[in-house]
Amino acid sequence: MRRFVPCLAALSAIVLGACGHTTSSGTGASPSAEPTPGATARAATQKLFDAKTFSNGTLVDNKFYPLVPGAQLVLEGEATRAAGRQPHRLVLTVTDLTKVINGVTTRVIWDVDTNNGVLAEAELAFHAQDDHGNVWNLGEYPEEYEAGKFKGAPSTWLTGFQKAEAGMIMPADPTKTEPPSYLQGFAPAVDFIDEAKTSKAAQATCVPAKCYDDVLVIEEWIPGKTSDGHQLKFYAPGVGNVRVDYKGGDEEESLVLASARMLTPAELATVRAEALKLDHHGYEVNTDYAQTAPAQGPPAS
């Protein structure tokens, strides 16, 4: 399952519904056959997405999913990989870059993923908030590494390319979504589909960084893939994702927030440069990515 957990700042917003879901796939075409996994949630999510409703999409002030350029979260824990249970670390930074995807100007998130101290994945994610306060994922460019060496980016998907559709990362009011579940992205060409729903609200949790109240717990899963299990992500107001737990599945990823801070201008400039390198490399690696406009930095002061 994908992991995107940006950070720091906050204002709550107005809700604009979410969606329902199915849990198993049908193989026949008869009316009694169960629909494709996630089909109901997909249809409901599709109805909510409208590229014309992102008048200021990079201003992301969702209570549980704020995106402030320079905000950085470091989550540490363990995950089961081919080599067994290993230390796992995610560094997620909200850059000051923007990128237009399917007509929507998105905020670029830089995600660096290491297993046992070795780079496993470096990813750019493209998120934006609509005028109703819902935060959307419009695509991902994840570069994969083996023993620290680049192996490719086969899981790249972008809204508007090869039937890929935007997914909702965080509803404006996740406690009042009806129907309860929604898709976080749909990209059939790379076999990507994640479904989510609110599991609990008004929770408390303590992690190395801090203790938090009014925590939201979101449950995520891949429809029709029981072996993957479910992830539970804990979101603190004004911060973002502070804990990841699991229910079943093979990966058994568990993470806690080790630190949350704002980068200095010099550190943010370094992040910007690294994210731009990844963006530029995408044009050499993926033909769909090569059709997008390059990521843009902030206006010169």
CB distance 37 to 7 below 8 Å:
no
pLDDT in tens, 111-120: 999 999 999 9
Tokens of 125: 């994610």
SS3 call for 26: coil
87 or 6, higher pLDDT:
87
The average pLDDT across 10-34 equals 31
Residue type, 172: A
Torsion of CA 48, 127, 297, 265, to 10 degrees: 140
CB distance 41 to 22 below 8 Å:
yes
Question: What percent of the chain clears pLDDT 70, i.e. is strictly above it?
Answer: 86
Question: How many CB atoms neighbour CB 55 within 10 A?
Answer: 9
pLDDT in tens, 170-203: 999 998 877 789 999 999 999 999 999 999 999 9
300 pLDDT band, cuts 50/70/90, is confident
4 pLDDT band, cuts 50/70/90, is very low
pLDDT in tens, 40-59: 888 888 989 999 999 999 99
The average pLDDT across 80-84 equals 72
SS3 call for 178: coil
Q: pTM higher than 0.75 for the full model?
A: yes
Residue in 259, 201, 261 with CA at minimum distance from that of residue 232: 201
Say if residue 124's pLDDT is above 90: yes
Residue in 76, 49, 26 with CA at minimum distance from that of residue 186: 49
Q: What is the pLDDT of residue 224?
A: 85
73 or 25, higher pLDDT:
73
Helices (H), the chain: 39-48, 265-285
Say if residue 34's pLDDT is above 60: no
Q: What is the pLDDT of residue 299?
A: 86
CB distance 194 to 157 below 8 Å:
no
Question: How many CB atoms neighbour CB 187 within 10 A?
Answer: 21
Say if residue 64's pLDDT is above 90: yes
Question: What percent of the chain clears pLDDT 90, i.e. is strictly above it?
Answer: 74
Question: How many CB atoms neighbour CB 20 within 10 A?
Answer: 20
Q: What is the pLDDT of residue 37?
A: 67
Q: What is the pLDDT of residue 79?
A: 83
pLDDT in tens, 150-160: 999 999 999 99
Q: What is the pLDDT of residue 168?
A: 96
Say if residue 82's pLDDT is above 80: no
DSSP state of 7: B
> Tokens 């969702």 — which residue?
62
pLDDT in tens, 203-230: 999 999 999 999 999 999 999 887 788 9
